[in-house]
Amino acid sequence: MLHKLTDNVFRGYWPYVIICTVGVLLYAKSFAFGFTYLDDHVLILNNVATLENFWYIFGAFVHGVFPAAQDTSLYYRPLLTISFMPEAMIGGTIPSFYHFINVVLHLISACLVYLFFIKLKYSKRISLLAGLIFVTHPVFVQAVAWIPGRNDPLLAIFVLLSFIYFLDFIEEEKRKSVVYSVFFFAFALFTKETSVVLPALCLLYLWARKALKKSTLLQFSVGWLSAIVVWFPIRSFVMSDQTQTPFLGMISSFVTNVPGTVQMVGKIFFPLNLSVLPVLRDTTYLWGYIAIAIIVGLVVWQLKDKKAFIHSYRMMLFGAGWFLLFLWPSFIISDPSGSTYFLEHRLYVPLIGLFILVAESSAGRSLNVMSRKLFVSLSLLVLILFSCITFVHEDVFSNRLMFWQSAAVHSPHSSLANKNLGAMYYLDQNYPLAEIYTQKALALNPEEPMAHNNLGLIDAARGKFDDAKKEYFKELSINLFYDSAHYNLGLLYYQMGDFRNARKQWEQTLMINPNYDGAPQALQELNREGK
């Protein structure tokens, strides 16, 4: 009796054990990684005093994810901010805590992918393979090893839980399943705005399964609308001070960026040209064209068996819809510098749709009927290959210098990559290389934000005060309300003995950003010295 009970428990939980074991072995070394200084320094290092305050759990809902002074608060992600708070309370700015939670979230997401496919009535072997590919796929390294990338695993968890309870309701029609599904949909909205497409995908699934019922539509429509009615006004209020992209500008941005779909599909099938800051100009389309040819081939192959095609074409459309609806919204927003970065962590949720498409194809069905030995051999081949690429690619995120060196190598036409690599060299006091890469950034974009400020810091460190002052003024001519440029100019005036102008610059800093660290202390020092 005990043996049977143990065997049943093992059968029920062993897929989750396998997925988690593989994920831990693959990502354990990331626990020793540091910060990359791409958003994590703003979200955590410069914000730890706020994150350590328990009561900010409420304040997070009325602020953008970035401090307003950064002028990048167009993202409303309160649950991302809240997710950093426990680590900040326990470990402050120790990166290991944040990396550990990132891995845990990735493991939960991969386990939910397995459960999701089980709920969609796929076989256990297909479902387990989907979970294992998800946990090992190289394109997800950025979502796991880069601390701010956790937003997408968080989104995946809430989206999958919402859809799983939606599927439960279709099977059992229990009212509590509606409540749970809508509850997690609301969490998804407060995690990332792209989740607003989830109701459309639920309707698409009902169409695919020919399960449209008035009672289902009514109950979920009321729930979805209630969640959106709560989320949208709060988000609109918080984002009211941000410059909104005109509708025509959004359309233009999307049309310009939609070719990135080809590149991103290529990285899913052939993760060979991974980049931490990819731009269209520096990323090949070759692998994307091959990958799309494979997808088209799978569809054509399916057409040969008309009976199978009639049975599965709706679900294939559902999978394609899932992929595109979760991916394409990220193409609407462009970087202020004029570049759009096709960050790979944004594939985290969309990829699930491609899994469905492939699982519904003849190739996916072939996996179910092939011998167990052949299935295991093919699966291991793919998983080992993906694991090796992932294990190597992780190292790029180990520290800030390696991260930005990789960014500049793989995206040489990115002014941001070159500017920030220069900034990392400055922090390491390698001023010659710092100047070279900062100048390269300005050559690519003469109005690159913060670049002249960084040159000012480099000149000041070398004792070239007059040159530094010129660079700070150049920065302020481009970016008048950049608080750090005013603060650094104040420091320069102080070093030059011009205390009156130092005071003016520090007061200006606090006018722009009342919470700017260092400015109040600098003014207090001037007052103590009577200057």
The answer, yes or no, to whether residue 321 has pLDDT greater than 60, is yes
What is the residue extent of each domain of the chain?
Answer: 9-241+253-397, 414-529
pLDDT digits (tens, 9 = 90+) for 171-230: 988 889 999 999 999 999 999 999 999 999 999 999 999 888 888 889 999 999 999 999
pLDDT band at residue 242 using 50, 70 and 90 as cut-offs: low
* DSSP per-residue letters across 226-282: HHHHHHHHHHHHHGGGSPPPPHHHHHHHHHHHTTHHHHHHHHHH-TTS--SS--GGG
| DSSP three-state, residue 496 | coil
| All residues at 6 or more sequence positions from 528 whose CB lies less than 8 Å from its CB, including other chains | none
The encoded tokens of residue 472 equal 């700070």
pLDDT digits (tens, 9 = 90+) for 106-159: 999 999 999 999 999 999 999 999 999 999 999 999 999 999 999 999 999 999
Long-range contacts of 231-235, Cβ-Cβ distance < 8 Å, separation of 24 or more: 231/186, 231/189, 231/190, 234/61, 234/62, 235/76, 235/193
Phi-psi region of 305 (alpha: psi -120 to 50; beta: other; left: phi over 0): beta
Which superfamily, per CATH, for 414-529? Tetratricopeptide repeat domain (1.25.40.10)
The answer, yes or no, to whether residue 245 has pLDDT greater than 70, is no
The answer, yes or no, to whether residue 9 has pLDDT greater than 60, is no
% the chain with pLDDT above 90? 71
The encoded tokens of residue 436 equal 């070279």
pLDDT digits (tens, 9 = 90+) for 350-405: 999 999 999 998 888 888 888 889 999 999 999 999 999 999 999 999 999 999 99
Q: Which residue has the higher pLDDT, 198 or 299?
A: 198
The encoded tokens of residue 276 equal 């931490």
| DSSP three-state, residue 283 | coil
What integer pLDDT is reported at residue 444 of this predicted model? Answer: 94
- 431-444 and 451-461 are packed helices; what angle lies between their axes, rounded to 10 degrees? 160
pLDDT digits (tens, 9 = 90+) for 354-367: 999 999 988 888 88
Measured distance CA(318)–CA(201) in Å, rounded:
7
Q: What do you get for the CA distance between the two ends of the chain, in Å?
A: 85
DSSP alpha helix (H) spans, 139-259: 141-145, 151-172, 175-189, 198-208, 214-238, 247-257
The CA R_g of the chain, rounded to the nearest whole Å, is 25
pLDDT digits (tens, 9 = 90+) for 508-518: 999 988 878 78
Of the candidates 181, 186, 207, 205, the one whose C-alpha atom is nearest the C-alpha of residue 196 is 186
